């Protein structure tokens, strides 16, 4: 288990306050003032929670054509077909994921491809489960041009929540990403959306209520004729073999 580098500042502040406070209270309790345990335990729990919030576990990244993986951990709260969506020519499919404070908050790319553009929008901080949070809240929009074999463009949106007050996105226009590659996070509760062209052959692989994991859970399958595999292997079978392109030197965006 590693720690997301974007959380180092918060962990350092937490250690300097909560961690030191817990250590001091523990020392006082051991020295003969048992009531100090009432302060030591909550401080230690809060410090451990802050560290755990920025955990960055390794993930098994599905391989094979026609797969879009989840950009975040959490629970699927929306699978909606739209008549149109800004930036997508024609109907679109939107999948929304709610991240509680207990979920891993590292965001990963749903596919390999090129970043067309990013757009930050200031806004409110409604609860991420609010039906209008995706429209009214502070957000970062990333438009991706997927690798050959997938319809595009694709849109990934990081949406702030009631507690989330900072969105981290390290992607820039014309940079390239791999499927499952880390690209940022949203601090302390949020919502992430994937919007894709609703074309023939594209099918959601999840439904409302499903629990997903960033980089490893397949959200969408695209079964186009040109994606038919050779040698008898199916996309589903290929998806069982996987690597994490974000682990190892030179694979994570800097």
106-108, strands of its sheet edge to edge? 106-108, 182-186, 167-169
What Cα–Cα distance (Å) separates residue 82 from each residue in 69, 94, 105, 133, 195?
A: 20, 7, 27, 17, 9
Q: Within 10 Å of residue 232's Cβ, how many Cβ atoms? A: 6
For the question of residue 251 being annotated catalytic, the response is no
Element (H, E) at 44: helix 37-53
Of 14, 133, 139, 190, the catalytic one is 190
Expressed in angstroms, the distance from the first to the final Cα of the chain is 20
Q: What angle do CA 204, 205, 207 make, to 5 degrees?
A: 80
Give the chain's count of helices (H) and strands (E).
Answer: 5, 18
Query: Which residues are the active-site residues?
Result: 190
């Amino acid at each position: 288990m590693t720690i997301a580098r974007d959380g180092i500042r918060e962990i350092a502040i937490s250690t300097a306050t909560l961690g030191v406070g817990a250590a001091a209270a523990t020392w006082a309790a051991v020295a003969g003032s048992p009531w100090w345990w009432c302060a030591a335990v909550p401080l230690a729990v809060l410090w451990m929670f802050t560290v755990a919030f920025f955990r960055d576990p390794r993930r098994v990244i599905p391989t094979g054509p026609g797969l879009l993986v989840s950009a975040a951990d959490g629970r699927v709260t929306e699978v909606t077909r739209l008549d149109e969506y800004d930036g997508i020519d024609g109907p679109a499919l939107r999948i929304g994921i709610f991240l509680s404070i207990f979920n891993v908050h590292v965001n990963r790319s749903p596919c390999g491809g090129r970043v067309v553009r990013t757009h930050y929008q200031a806004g409110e901080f409604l609860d991420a489960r609010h039906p209008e949070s995706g429209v009214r809240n502070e957000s970062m929009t990333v438009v991706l041009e997927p690798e050959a074999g997938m319809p595009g463009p694709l849109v990934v949106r990081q949406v702030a929540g009631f507690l989330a007050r900072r969105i981290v996105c390290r992607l820039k226009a014309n940079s390239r990403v791999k499927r499952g590659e880390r690209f940022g996070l949203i601090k302390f509760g949020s919502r992430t959306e994937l919007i894709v062209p609703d074309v023939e052959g594209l099918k959601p692989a999840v439904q409302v209520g499903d629990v997903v994991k960033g980089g490893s859970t397949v959200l969408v399958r695209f079964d186009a004729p040109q994606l038919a595999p050779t040698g008898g292997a199916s996309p589903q079978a290929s998806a069982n073999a996987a690597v994490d392109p974000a682990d190892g030197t030179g694979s994570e965006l800097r």
